[in-house]
Chains A and B, each alone.
With several copies, the nearest count.
Chain A
Amino acid sequence: MKKLKEKNNDNYDFVLKQKVVEALIFSSSEPIPYDELLKRIIDKNILNQILENLEKKYSSSGVNLYVINNSYAFRTSLDVSEFLNIEKIVPKPLSRAATETLAIIAYHQPITRSEIENIRGVSLSRGTLDVLLELQWIQPGHRKSTPGNPLTWKTTNLFLDYFNLKNIKDLPGIEDLKNSGLLDKNKVIFNDQSVD
């Protein structure tokens, strides 16, 4: 009876250890070295058994266990990566110029290129609008009926989708920005200070 109980405990312990290894490999930002795993599991035999189990468990999944240089990582399986056309892309922030331009278009649309330049105080480089166009976050609007009929720019539905906005009107206004602390009032120098 006692033995059986012990055996059950052992089994529980093993299952828990396997879950720990699985979670560790999953959450690690880089392939996790065998030695690192051994530090938690202590027993080599148990760890080897766990890794073998996991390898088997994931072999027919959309994600497989890979061994790289004696380190372990989960990677999308080749059967589906082909299907999904996987490219490793490192997400990067938009450039400052592009973010500023996007923000100005979002708040002032429809707006011409020279109006954007006026607000930013610098001329727009060729690539800035291209980046936003390629992302399909902006699109040309109507032409303005001022001399030269300049083209205006406005945001797209994809832009709303990406930033999770239902409507362009739902962007916080200047007052909201002030109230939420996004506009640092101290930096603003009012030009209507009256002297008494």
Chain B
Amino acid sequence: MSEFIYKKIDILSLSLDGFQGPIDLLLSLARDHKIDLTKLSILKLAEQYLEFLDQIIKKDIDIAAEYLVMGAWLAFLKSKLLLPVEKEEGSMTSEEMSELLEFQMKRLVGIQKVSKLLFKRHKLGTHFFKRGNPEIFGINQKNQYNSTLYDLIKTYGEIITFNNSKSITIANTQLFSVEDALNTLKSFFKHSKDWKDLLDFIPNNLRNKLERKSALASHFVASLELVKEGSLKLRQDSFNDNILLHSK
């Protein structure tokens, strides 16, 4: 068993560079066991995949996330394979699901094979060459431009990107300035000789948390400022008690 886990971690390190995704991983698991895709035991494969998923979830949750869709699907398939056949309307049977999975794996193997064949071909500029010094016939048009569709859409992309980054609008904020708070406190204590709770200065019609926090912070800072000036007294009887203000 420990050997098994070791092997999984090996695959994990592979998945960090060459690997692209779940079907690839399934293929690699299948190849590791030198299994012919047509004789593949989907159940075994599903079990291994899920075990592998268990391992990486512990190691790296980000990578695991990419493998989860296939994992969930395989878990579902596994449960179907283990449970007695029950006919459900409109849903795939476990055989159909296994078949689809096998098809997807074979299709990817096919594409990987031909992509190698393609790049093994004789290539222009490496094995054969075009006219090195072309002459251009100017019959109808005087100007010959070599603009490509890529130039066109890349340029458009850049315009759009540029325009988006150009139009930054900073939303009006409903934050309270310390200056405003100072004025509120000063005008209040001009007429009042009572102790007053700091929280009472926070307008109670504020809609969101941020505004409330900002109001509290600026009034607190303003009260400290006034204490420093010598026009206000602050009192807090114990930690977590309300802060009370009194004019001096």
Contact = CB atoms under 8 A, between A and B. Distances in A.
Interface stretch (A10-18, A46-54, A142-150, A174-182): A174-182
Interface stretch (B52-60, B159-167, B199-207, B235-243): B159-167
B107 A119 contact: yes
B16 interface: no
A78 B123 CA distance: 10
Interface in A153-179: 161-165, 171-174, 176-177
Interface in A102-118: 102-104, 106-107
Contacts of A91: 123, 125-126, 136, 144-146
Identify which of A24, A31, A87 gathers the most chain B CB atoms within 10 Å of its CB: A87
Interface string A65-88: 000000001111110010011111
A76 B128 contact: yes
Contacts of A121: 20-24, 70, 104, 108, 163, 166
B17 to A, nearest CB: 10
Given A91-B125, A163-B118, A135 B141 contact: yes
B155 A103 contact: yes
A173 B114 contact: yes
Contact of A27 (B21, B70, B135, B156): B135
A122 interface: yes
Contacts of A135: 141, 143, 145
B130 A182 contact: no
A4 interface: no
B149 A139 contact: yes
B134 A27 contact: yes
B191 interface: no
B178 to A, nearest CB: 19
Contact of A77 (B128, B141, B165, B169): B128
Interface stretch (B82-90, B95-103, B180-188, B222-230): B95-103
Contact of B157 (A93, A134, A182): A182
B134 A107 contact: no
A111 to B, nearest CB: 12
Contacts of A173: 110, 113-114, 117
A78 to B, nearest CB: 6
Nearest to B208: A196
B155 A171 contact: no
B137 interface: yes
B130 A27 contact: yes
B124 A75 contact: yes
Contacts of B172: none
Contacts of B34: none
Interface of B: 18, 20-24, 66, 69-70, 73, 97, 100-101, 103-104, 106-108, 110-115, 117-119, 121-139, 141-157, 159-169, 209-210
Given A29-B130, A29-B131, A76-B128, 10 more contacts: A26-B132, A81-B127, A103-B112, A103-B156, A121-B20, A134-B150, A162-B124, A172-B153, A182-B157, A189-B104
